[in-house]
Amino acid sequence: MQKVQDLPGKAPAAARSRPRSRDWPVRVACAFLVFILIVAVVGPFLTSGDPLHINAANRIKPPSAEHLFGTDAMGRDVFARVIYGARTSIIVGFVAALASLLLGLAVGLLAGYFPLADATIMRVMDGIMSIPSIVLAVALVAITGANLGTVLIAIIVPEFPRVVRLVRGVILSLRSEPYVEAAISLATPTWRILFRHMLPNTLAPLIVQGSFVLASAILTEAALSFLGVGLPPEIPSWGNIMAEGRTYFQLRPGLIFFPGIFLALTVLSINLIGDALRDRFDPKLEKRH
Amino acid sequence: MLGYIVRRLLSTIPVLGVVALIVFLLLHFAPGDPAAIMAGDSATPAQLAEIRQRLGLDKPVFVQFFYWLDQLRQGNFGTSLHSNKPVAEMIAARVGPTLSLAVTTMTFSILVAIPLGVYAAWARGRLSDRLVMTLAVLGFSTPVFVTGYMLIYLLSLKAGWFPVQGFASLASDPIRFARTITLPTLALSTVYIALIARISRSSVLEILGEDFIRTARAKGVPERSVFLRHALRNAAVPIITVIGSGAAFLIGGVVVAESVFNIPGLGRLVVESVLARDYPLIQSLILLLSVIYIGINLVIDLLYTLFDPRIRY
Amino acid sequence: METAKTKEILRIDNLDVSLVESGKTLIRDISFTLHAGETLCLVGESGSGKSLTSLAVMGLLDPGALRVSAGRILVEGIDVLAASAEELRQMRATRMSMVFQEPMTALNPTETVGAQVEEVLRVHGEGNAVTRRERVLKMFEAVHLPAPERIHASYPYQLSGGQRQRIVISMALILNPRLLIADEPTTALDVTTQRQILALIEEMQQKFGTAVLFITHDFGVVSDIADRIVVMNRGDLVETGTRDEILARPRQDYTRMLVSSVPSLVPPGRMPVTGAQILEVANLNKVYTQGSFLSGRRRVDALKPTGLTLATGEILGIVGESGSGKTTLARCLTRLIEPTGGAIRLGDTDISAMSQRQLRPYRRRFQVVFQDPFRSLNARLRVRDIVAEGMLNFGTPREEAYARVGDLLERVGLSVEMMDRYPHQFSGGQRQRICIARALALRPEVLIADESVSALDVSVQKQVLELLREICDETGVGIIFITHDLRVAARICDRVLVMQRGEVVESGSVDEVLTRPAQAYTRELIGAAPGRNWDFEHFRPFA
């Protein structure tokens, strides 16, 4: 629960002035994330390389002026593929994170405010959370067959119960807050209590959680694709590029390292921003898991 | 105390039930007819019906569910669609490497992470604290396969200290075991260490803000004792909680790491079974890994009683 | 003995404490001395800096946030501020000790209390394991803990608040320091326990000749125990003097205002209320069942069948210690929890068994004001919307509702312009006024005030109590006033119910109950009420 009762002026001023000298990693993280977002949106227009263009004469070449990151086993330009991969990874990550948050919020509100629904919902959530998420994702893809939609579902299903648990926790603690009890005493309708008095207070933890869900979603997609059970190979994603680079790793480690470094830096940036948001909103809010 | 243990044991029953139900429904509602997959493309309708009957697929869903549970209870995990071997046998053959990897990773991570976290809390705000914590964020931002290949590149290909891939069991060849298990352990540990170190630091710092820490200082307890005796012990519950919940990352990581390092364990079997759409095998593996995860967390919950007397009611 | 008595134990000269980051000074130019065997009360409202002063003496200011920016602190002639960390550590518990406010959190929850007290001896190199244990057991006996052996092996959660505070005191005094700092040591305790702990501190002080620096906001406690008093306000020292100087002849206006705000136990004498009955409660009760089928279900009667009546223009006090069932009663009355049985008749309608949906139209007839003014208001809404919420729920047009918000704010002593502000821009007392305005907006017949002035400083408390009385007389609203503080009840109530362990033990007019109590428990409560011999309003002892 966040503290809403801080004295005016005093605490916020201190909180604002303190981290200034120390937040350069967060600034760098923000800059990098913006860079990746730009690459994801306009990148494909900037690179002349075609990520799908197969050139048998030009297989697994080292980096050169023409092919910045070299070429892969089918002679495709790795730089172009990494740029296109950014788009795939970012889109999958954001869509999955947003869907997890919305679904988790809806179910969490239900569980938190209606005790009758709570027991059943939380049992199911506990069950889903008891299946290690990568294993569940792998299984979901196995059953439904790998395409963009099923990969999204495979990321969302293991992820959203954590959001449910968070939202439910916040709602439960808010229910006993005197200001909510005051609203009940004023005969405020239930939907109004939920949306006017409770929902706004879930936003801060939800945004923080959202950043961690986003990081996790991008990682899960990459892991699925890397294992060969994720996105179909014709869609370039960082995981796919690495999966294909495995065979020639000893010869051309860049096939794995270039997309790998982009992936790690992107996730790192998101996590750093998430940490900073958490510290700002509420130092006591714990990282999920 | 006994009451707590019994209650905690009983409380895992509904979770196990829900997990079993989820795993069952997952495969039950999978598109495609398991019978058709089993029978292959050239099967006749009569063969299909025969397989359906044999698998109980002609019965209502919940009957099938309880039939399946009953089979599990008897130790019958079904037969692989692919190899026609009993699933239990296939799994048993793969448990060893995974277990070794999990145990080495867990031990190594705990031994490194807790001192690291406590140190960072001690050095709060100083450069070394920020360095450790930044490395920790980097640690769980880098996927196991990227860390794994980096280690292979640096320590195997360049330095030549370790074999690139492969696995030998501890019993058959202890030296080769040590050489092959080191890199996967390191790769898997980064995420786990990062998680535990972060929570160790934040829990210790949170406890340091408690009133009883002020009491300890007021009675003249040396700062070292304040940290190790008063703060760390009270921070134990959140720390071991993360060790438990982090086991999910560990299990997921095992799947990936075994693939990177070419270790013939359960993780590889998961991927193989998925690629082969070997439903009985997938079903049993998910169930098994979930049960292991639930079991680890059960042990963790029982460990709480060692650290927090209030739980022994 | 006389020389020991006058020996200077603590001397503070021109002490300033400021924030490390901004350099803002939080306490300024504080000077006083404390002698052996003396009790000096450091008194002030919240934010006065009294706790900071005591932490500075112990060297326990958070080094990352606060620092002593000027002045000198001498404990038995040793300069605390010049001492090294190790020297300071050695002084703690041997020369100076501290007892804190919250006995529930002051002890390490994962160690037995015996081990925690022994640790004091161990870290100061006293004795061996056997002698340490013996010494601790003897100390437990000295602080009147029952069955010392059993207590020694207990964890804090197994002990009551009073017992824990005795543990903390034995921890503080086992090495016989010359200075004991007690920071609101009884504020979190019930009055009867408070009485015992105060007596214990006095007993220990006489036994060991300890100098006690007692920090409190409660002038009742001060009048009972102080030799001398230091009054602080917003970081400044206002006035220093003997007990009688400060309580009977305060020189500063602030001190006069503060002392005269303290409610005394003698009611002002009220006319009996003659209004019509608006609320009748009969056999209202609440039973909780705890535990599972494994440990065996346990039935807890949080509220045994209870009846009461309330008339228009009447203030009915419900008084009791923690666990007496007074809050359960309040929450049942407001239907924030479901009563197990009984009737709540509001006029002719029994609302006790209605569903929340059926209840909604009746909600406007009974309203609540809660204890914590900081958590009672939604921080994200403007005052205008907070106060108007009830009216809008009952279909008042928005414009009309907002216009009435202005009137209400003025009625509770705020101004119309404050409508557009957010709660965080107000002080605790002002927020409680907003809560009262919100409750009054629906023109309720019954107002339930659940410890509504308990979180407020005494001067603000007095104003809010006066406001409630005025509103009651003016609008005829009946008020059920729940409090743990008999003195507050004496000041405002017409009638009181005294509760203990879930039932009413005594009821009657406030004069009757407080001046001629029929029940032993009521007498005990009155006997334990701090400051019952002093008429603060008139700066004199009761004859």
CATH of domain A23-48+69-285: 1.10.3720.10
Check residue A9 and give its pLDDT: 31
Beta-ladder partners of C308:
C281
* Both tokens assigned to C291: 């535990």
Does pLDDT of A2 surpass 70?
A: no
> What is the distance between the alpha carbons of residues A232 and C88, in angstroms, rounded to a whole number?
68
* Residue of A5, A179, A187 lying closest to C394 (CB–CB): A187
The continuous run of DSSP H or E covering C505 comes out as: strand C503-509
Burial of C431-444, coded b for 16+ CB within 10 Å and e otherwise, reads bbbbbbbbbbbbeb
CATH number at residue C233: 3.40.50.300
- Residue C102 and residue C7 share a domain: yes
With respect to residue C531, please indicate whether it lies within any of the assigned structural domains.
Answer: yes
The continuous run of DSSP H or E covering C148 comes out as: helix C148-152
- Residue C238 and residue C361 share a domain: no
This prediction has a pTM of 0.85
- Residue C224 and residue C129 share a domain: yes
**Are C379 and A18 a contacting pair at CB < 8 A?**
no
With respect to residue C34, please indicate whether it lies within any of the assigned structural domains.
Answer: yes
For residues A22 and C89, which has the higher predicted lDDT (pLDDT)? C89
Give Cβ neighbours of residue A268 (< 8 Å, ≥ 6 apart): A29, B137, B138, B141, B142
- Residue B53 and residue B133 share a domain: no
CA dihedral C325, C331, C332, C333 (to 10 degrees): 110
Query: pLDDT digit string (tens) for C498-543?
Result: 999 999 999 999 988 988 999 999 999 999 988 888 888 888 888 7
With respect to residue C269, please indicate whether it lies within any of the assigned structural domains.
Answer: no
Residue type, C412: V
**B154-158, B201-205, B249-253, C178-182: least confident range:** B154-158
The number of residues in chain B equals 313
**Are C110 and B218 a contacting pair at CB < 8 A?**
no
* Both tokens assigned to C207: 């036994």
* Residue of A17, A179, A187 lying closest to C375 (CB–CB): A179
Check residue B190 and give its pLDDT: 93
Domain count, chain C: 2
Decide if C361 touches A, using CB distance below 8 A: yes
**Are A188 and C393 a contacting pair at CB < 8 A?**
yes
- Residue B95 and residue B49 share a domain: no
Percentage of chain A lying above the pLDDT 90 cut: 29
> What is the distance between the alpha carbons of residues C83 and C71, in angstroms, rounded to a whole number?
14
Query: In which region does residue C127 sit, left (phi positive, over 0), alpha (psi from -120 to 50) or beta (all else)?
Result: left
* Residue of A17, A179, A186 lying closest to C21 (CB–CB): A17
Does pLDDT of A4 surpass 50?
A: no
Nearest to C315 by CA among C257, C359, C272: C272
**A6-15, C339-348, C508-517: least confident range:** A6-15
Q: Radius of gyration (Cα) for chain B, nearest Å?
A: 24
Q: What is the mean pLDDT of residues A165-174?
A: 92
- Residue B68 and residue B107 share a domain: no
Counted across chains A and C, CB pairs separated by less than 8 A come out at: 73
Long-range pairs, B35-43, Cβ under 8 A, ≥24: B37/B81, B37/B277, B37/B279, B38/B81
How far, in Å, are A109, A125, C110 from residue A166 at the CA level? Answer: 10, 12, 28
C194 close to C186: Cβ distance less than 8 angstroms: yes
- Residue B79 and residue B107 share a domain: no
Closest-CA residue of chain C to A192: C393
Beta-ladder partners of C240:
C230
Q: What is the mean pLDDT of residues B209-238?
A: 92
Q: Nearest C-alpha of chain B: how many angstroms from A198?
A: 26
> What is the distance between the alpha carbons of residues C344 and C354, in angstroms, rounded to a whole number?
10
- Residue B155 and residue B34 share a domain: no
Closest-CA residue of chain C to A188: C393
Residues in chain A with CB shorter than 8 Å from the CB of C438 are: 182, 186
Averaged pLDDT of chain C = 90
Q: Radius of gyration (Cα) for chain C, nearest Å?
A: 26
C498 close to C320: Cβ distance less than 8 angstroms: yes
- Residue C131 and residue C231 share a domain: yes
Decide if A226 touches B, using CB distance below 8 A: yes
Question: What band does C189 get if pLDDT is binned at 50, 70 and 90?
Answer: confident
Give Cβ neighbours of residue C24 (< 8 Å, ≥ 6 apart): C18
- Residue C457 and residue C394 share a domain: yes
Nearest to B106 by CA among B308, B307, B313, B300: B300
Does pLDDT of A3 surpass 70?
A: no
Does pLDDT of B81 surpass 90?
A: no
> What is the distance between the alpha carbons of residues C297 and C289, in angstroms, rounded to a whole number?
6
> What is the distance between the alpha carbons of residues A164 and C539, in angstroms, rounded to a whole number?
59
Residues in chain B with CB shorter than 8 Å from the CB of A227 are: 255-256, 259, 271
Residue type, C372: D
Does pLDDT of B38 surpass 80?
A: no
Residues in chain B with CB shorter than 8 Å from the CB of C157 are: 309-310
Q: Nearest C-alpha of chain B: how many angstroms from C83?
A: 14
With respect to residue C266, please indicate whether it lies within any of the assigned structural domains.
Answer: no
For residues A168 and C101, which has the higher predicted lDDT (pLDDT)? A168
Check residue A67 and give its pLDDT: 65
Residue corresponding to tokens 């650290």: B307
Nearest to C104 by CA among C162, C46, C181: C162
Q: What is the mean pLDDT of residues C314-320?
A: 94
With respect to residue C27, please indicate whether it lies within any of the assigned structural domains.
Answer: yes
Q: Domain ends where: B56, B83, B110? A: B83
Q: Nearest C-alpha of chain B: how many angstroms from A284?
A: 8
Query: pLDDT digit string (tens) for C51-87?
Result: 999 999 999 998 888 999 999 999 999 999 999 999 9
Check residue B34 and give its pLDDT: 64
* Residue of B23, B149, B198 lying closest to A256 (CB–CB): B149
Nearest to A223 by CA among C143, B24, B249, C72: B249
Question: What band does B32 get if pLDDT is binned at 50, 70 and 90?
Answer: low
With respect to residue C383, please indicate whether it lies within any of the assigned structural domains.
Answer: yes
Which of B82, B269, B274 is the best residue to mutate to test the A interface, defined by the most A CB atoms within 10 Å of its own CB?
Answer: B274
Residue type, C440: L
- Residue C309 and residue C230 share a domain: no
C314 close to C494: Cβ distance less than 8 angstroms: yes
Which of C364, C371, C389 is the best residue to mutate to test the A interface, defined by the most A CB atoms within 10 Å of its own CB?
Answer: C389
Chain A stretch 18-57, residues whose beta carbon is closer than 8 A to a beta carbon of chain B: 22, 25
Q: Domain ends where: B83, B113, B142? A: B83
Give Cβ neighbours of residue B240 (< 8 Å, ≥ 6 apart): B300, B303, B304, B307
- Residue C377 and residue C243 share a domain: no
Question: What band does B312 get if pLDDT is binned at 50, 70 and 90?
Answer: low
Quick one: how many helices (H) and strands (E) in chain B? 14, 0
Check residue A235 and give its pLDDT: 83
Give Cβ neighbours of residue B32 (< 8 Å, ≥ 6 apart): none
Check residue B76 and give its pLDDT: 80
Query: pLDDT digit string (tens) for C14-46?
Result: 999 999 888 899 999 999 999 999 999 999 988
Decide if A128 touches B, using CB distance below 8 A: yes
- Residue C100 and residue C157 share a domain: yes
Give Cβ neighbours of residue A41 (< 8 Å, ≥ 6 apart): A87
- Kind of pairing between the strands at C66-75 and C534-535: unpaired
> What is the distance between the alpha carbons of residues B265 and B270, in angstroms, rounded to a whole number?
9
> What is the distance between the alpha carbons of residues A157 and A96, in angstroms, rounded to a whole number?
9
DSSP letter string, A158-188: HHHHHHHHHHHHHHHHHHTSHHHHHHHHTT-
Instruction: Please say whether the dihedral angle defined by the alpha carbons of residues B192, B197, B198 and B202, taken in this order, is positive or negative.
Output: positive
With respect to residue C267, please indicate whether it lies within any of the assigned structural domains.
Answer: no
Does pLDDT of B305 surpass 90?
A: no
Averaged pLDDT of chain A = 81
Q: Domain ends where: B83, B114, B138? A: B83
- Residue B151 and residue B70 share a domain: no
**A76-85, C178-187, C307-316: least confident range:** A76-85
* Both tokens assigned to A144: 């439904």
Check residue A57 and give its pLDDT: 66
| Domain range for B244 | 88-307
> What is the distance between the alpha carbons of residues B271 and B258, in angstroms, rounded to a whole number?
10
- Residue B197 and residue B142 share a domain: yes
Does pLDDT of B173 surpass 90?
A: no
Q: What is the DSSP letter of B230?
A: I
Nearest to C229 by CA among C212, C214, C242: C242
- Residue B209 and residue B68 share a domain: no
For residues A133 and C383, which has the higher predicted lDDT (pLDDT)? C383
> What is the distance between the alpha carbons of residues C54 and C17, in angstroms, rounded to a whole number?
11
Instruction: Please say whether the dihedral angle defined by the alpha carbons of residues C374, C375, C378 and C384, taken in this order, is positive or negative.
Output: negative
- Residue B60 and residue B15 share a domain: yes
For residues C494 and C542, which has the higher predicted lDDT (pLDDT)? C494
Give Cβ neighbours of residue C373 (< 8 Å, ≥ 6 apart): C428, C429, C431, C432, C435, C455, C456
Residue corresponding to tokens 């440990």: C295
- Kind of pairing between the strands at C25-35 and C8-19: antiparallel
Query: pLDDT digit string (tens) for C111-152?
Result: 999 999 999 999 999 889 999 999 999 999 999 998 999 999
- Residue B112 and residue B71 share a domain: no
Which of B219, B225, B230, B306 is the best residue to mutate to test the C interface, defined by the most C CB atoms within 10 Å of its own CB?
Answer: B219
Q: What is the mean pLDDT of residues B36-60?
A: 73
- Residue B154 and residue B64 share a domain: no
Check residue C332 and give its pLDDT: 93
**Are C22 and A14 a contacting pair at CB < 8 A?**
yes
CB-hemisphere CA count at 13 Å for B251?
29
* Both tokens assigned to C92: 């703690």
Residue type, C301: D
- Residue C282 and residue C253 share a domain: no
**Are A127 and B142 a contacting pair at CB < 8 A?**
no
With respect to residue B276, please indicate whether it lies within any of the assigned structural domains.
Answer: yes
Does pLDDT of B172 surpass 70?
A: yes
Averaged pLDDT of chain B = 86
Q: What is the mean pLDDT of residues A218-227?
A: 91
**Are A143 and B290 a contacting pair at CB < 8 A?**
no
| Domain range for C519 | 277-541
Burial of B110-148, coded b for 16+ CB within 10 Å and e otherwise, reads beebbebbbbbbbeeeeeebeebbeebbbbbbbbbbbbb
Decide if C5 touches A, using CB distance below 8 A: no
Decide if A234 touches B, using CB distance below 8 A: no
B216 close to C108: Cβ distance less than 8 angstroms: yes
**Are C157 and B308 a contacting pair at CB < 8 A?**
no
Q: Nearest C-alpha of chain C: how many angstroms from B197?
A: 22
- Residue C294 and residue C173 share a domain: no
Q: Nearest C-alpha of chain A: how many angstroms from B209?
A: 12
Check residue A14 and give its pLDDT: 36
- Residue C311 and residue C241 share a domain: no
Q: Radius of gyration (Cα) for chain A, nearest Å?
A: 22
**Are B26 and A139 a contacting pair at CB < 8 A?**
yes
> What is the distance between the alpha carbons of residues C68 and C61, in angstroms, rounded to a whole number?
9
- Residue C356 and residue C317 share a domain: yes
Chain C stretch 13-52, residues whose beta carbon is closer than 8 A to a beta carbon of chain A: 19, 21-22
With respect to residue B313, please indicate whether it lies within any of the assigned structural domains.
Answer: no
**Are A6 and C394 a contacting pair at CB < 8 A?**
no
With respect to residue B246, please indicate whether it lies within any of the assigned structural domains.
Answer: yes
**Are C100 and B3 a contacting pair at CB < 8 A?**
no
Nearest to B27 by CA among B222, B290, B287, B204: B287
A82 close to A254: Cβ distance less than 8 angstroms: no
The number of residues in chain C equals 543
CATH number at residue B97: 1.10.3720.10
* Residue of A138, A284, A286 lying closest to B270 (CB–CB): A138
A140 close to A150: Cβ distance less than 8 angstroms: yes
For residues C434 and B10, which has the higher predicted lDDT (pLDDT)? C434
Q: Domain ends where: C198, C228, C261? A: C261
Q: Is C529 helix (H, G, I), strand (E, B) or coil?
A: coil
Nearest to B187 by CA among A122, A16, C68, A260: A260
The CB density around residue C415, as the number of other CB atoms within 10 Å, is 9
Check residue A184 and give its pLDDT: 93
**Are C171 and B214 a contacting pair at CB < 8 A?**
no
**Are B218 and C97 a contacting pair at CB < 8 A?**
yes
Instruction: Output the CA angle B7-B11-B17, nearest 5 degrees.
Output: 150
